[in-house]
Amino acid sequence: MSNPSLLILPGDGIGPEVMAEVRKIIDWFADRRGLVFDVSEDLVGGCSYDKHGTPLTDEVMAKAQSVDAVLLGAVGGPAYDDLDFSVKPERGLLRLRKEMDLFANLRPAQCFDALADFSSLKRDIVAGLDIMIVRELTSGSYFGEPRGIFEENGERVGINTQRYTESEIDRVARAAFDLARKRDKRVCSMEKANVMESGILWREVVQAVHDADYPDIELTHMYADNGGMQLVRNPKQFDVIVTDNLFGDLLSDVAAMLTGSLGMLPSASLGAPMENGRPKALYEPVHGSAPDIAGQGKANPIACVLSFAMALRYSFDKGDEAARLEGAVEQVLADGVRSADLMQAEGGKPASTSEMGDAIIAALENNL
Ligand code: IPM
Ligand code: MG
């Protein structure tokens, strides 16, 4: 049997730096755990635009469709701000999500004990936090038609369309319920059914899926604005949150800050199972390209490392190896190793990106 395949797309900004640390960890798993991947690397985002005039070539798109999993760093940067919308770096990422049909975006927000004081909220509100946001990723206002900037009555009008079909809501609801079954068996669905028809349909379909197939899960509904408020008031009330593309984008950034730093949060974007039974999958840190610190060795690689852990769990059925890697990250944090984003004002010299990676590998070695 051939090795499972991984396509690595480091992208722009801090993407290449954090991905370099993940490559060290991939090598460690090959050497020390016999977990060998066929790894290839390619371009996405601004670096692809620079070389090919497009943020994602058809060749790379085809590669992404053919591998077992894609690992992406980050896309975008100020150098591309003035580009036409159609070739902006972000379009490369959105094309991957859309064409691979990665409808379920899993964004866990876990507060490591060693970091509970780094959150902008009080320790007791966030300590022990473990929630999972499931964001719909291939529809809604990100992709709905009509869209564009048009002339109307002598002025311009900008249009995007919030649009959801029943089947799109159905499949992401199932993804959320399935995850909840392996967790605390609670799902909170968020929309704006008080003002949006798409929200009314969302609520109805999620409830119907629940009633038909997931009666063992506790389902609640919440308006998304209240959801944002509840996330900062009492985040531990939640287990799994399921929501649409745009609300999920906002709410997952809110949830990120509960954990102390955006540099900590991984994500998995999953689609339907492929022929080999593995889901179509792309893993990426939630943080962006952070152009202000790019190229300086300051970036925290943990979000990207934990994204690889999610790949081990969700694509390769290696939950034990994922836990091994997550445990090493936890150990490093407990030992007080801190990248710049995790330093309190008084702190000493921060660990560089590669020192963080090395510390994680040392922790893996120590726990073999
Ligand atoms: C995210 C990002 C993306 C999004 C951008 C980079 C297109 O904010 O993954 O949350 O809006 O989905
Ligand atoms: Mg976002």
Nearest-CA neighbor of 238 among 126, 316, 342, 119?
A: 126
Ligand 1 pocket: which residues have CB below 6 Å? 90, 93, 249, 288
CA atoms within 13 A on the CB side of 279: 21
pLDDT confidence of residue 262:
82
Which atom of ligand 1 is nearest to 249's Cα?
A: 10
Return the C-alpha torsion angle 66, 71, 77, 83, nearest 10.
Answer: 10
- Going by the DSSP 8-state scheme, the letter that residue 112 receives in this structure is -
Is there a single domain that holds both residue 235 and residue 283?
no
Question: For residue 115, is it within any domain?
Answer: no
Question: For residue 111, is it within any domain?
Answer: no
pLDDT confidence of residue 38:
97
Kindly provide the b/e burial profile for residues 197-206, where b requires at least 16 CB atoms within 10 angstroms of the residue's own CB.
ebbebbbebb
Is there a single domain that holds both residue 139 and residue 250?
yes
Question: For residue 201, is it within any domain?
Answer: yes
Which atom of ligand 1 is nearest to 90's Cα?
A: 7
Mutation test residue for ligand 1: of 72, 93, 137, the one with most atoms within 8 Å of CB: 93
Question: For residue 173, is it within any domain?
Answer: yes
pLDDT confidence of residue 257:
83
CATH of the domain at 39: 3.40.718.10
Compute the C-alpha angle 255/55/65, nearest 5°.
Answer: 80
Ligand with an atom nearest the CA of residue 282? 1
- How many Cβ atoms from other residues are within 10 Å of residue 186's Cβ? 16
279 pairs with which residues across the strands?
A: 273
Is there a single domain that holds both residue 79 and residue 177?
no
Residue with CA at minimum distance from ligand 1 atom 10: 249
Is there a single domain that holds both residue 19 and residue 98?
yes
Q: How many residues does the chain have?
A: 368
Q: How remote is the CA of residue 211 from the centroid of ligand 2, in Å?
A: 31
Which distant-in-sequence residues (6+ apart) come within 8 Å of 228 by Cβ? 250, 251, 254
- Going by the DSSP 8-state scheme, the letter that residue 349 receives in this structure is P
Residues with catalytic function: 142, 192, 225, 249, 253
Provide the number of structural domains found in the chain: 2
Is there a single domain that holds both residue 62 and residue 79?
yes
Q: Which of 216, 243, 258 is the last residue of a domain?
A: 258
pLDDT tens, the chain, 368 aa long:
789 999 999 999 999 999 999 999 999 999 999 999 999 999 999 999 999 999 999 999 999 999 999 999 999 999 999 999 999 999 999 999 999 999 999 999 999 888 888 888 999 999 999 999 999 999 999 999 999 999 999 999 999 999 999 999 999 999 999 999 999 999 999 999 999 999 999 999 999 999 999 999 999 999 999 999 999 999 999 999 999 999 999 999 899 888 878 889 999 999 999 999 999 999 999 989 999 999 999 999 999 999 999 999 999 999 999 999 999 999 999 999 999 988 875 567 899 999 999 999 999 999 99
Phi then psi for residue 315, to 5 deg, are -95, -35
Q: Which token pair is 59?
A: 């060749």
Which distant-in-sequence residues (6+ apart) come within 8 Å of 214 by Cβ? 177, 180, 181
Peptide bond into 146 cis (omega under 30): yes
Q: How remote is the CA of residue 140 from the centroid of ligand 1, in Å?
A: 14
Place of tokens 């290696």: 318
Residue with CA at minimum distance from ligand 1 atom 4: 249
pLDDT confidence of residue 125:
94
Is there a single domain that holds both residue 276 and residue 344?
yes
Q: Which token pair is 144?
A: 């709905």
Residue with CA at minimum distance from ligand 1 atom 12: 249
Q: Which token pair is 280?
A: 């179509």
110 pairs with which residues across the strands?
A: 130
Could you tell me the strand order of the sheet in which 130-136 lies?
A: 38-41, 5-11, 69-74, 279-285, 266-273, 104-110, 130-136, 240-243, 186-191, 218-223
Is there a single domain that holds both residue 196 and residue 316?
no
DSSP state letters, 87-148: GSHHHHHHHHHHHTT--EEEEEEE--GGGTTTSSS-HHHHTT-EEEEEEE-SSGGGTEEEEE
pLDDT confidence of residue 345:
59
Q: How remote is the CA of residue 35 from the centroid of ligand 2, in Å?
A: 32
Q: How remote is the CA of residue 356 from the centroid of ligand 1, in Å?
A: 25
Q: Which of 214, 230, 258 is the last residue of a domain?
A: 258
- Per the structure, the complete domain to which residue 277 belongs is given by 1-103+265-368
Q: How remote is the CA of residue 175 from the centroid of ligand 1, in Å?
A: 20
Question: For residue 135, is it within any domain?
Answer: yes
Is there a single domain that holds both residue 245 and residue 299?
no
pLDDT confidence of residue 346:
57
Residue with CA at minimum distance from ligand 1 atom 9: 286
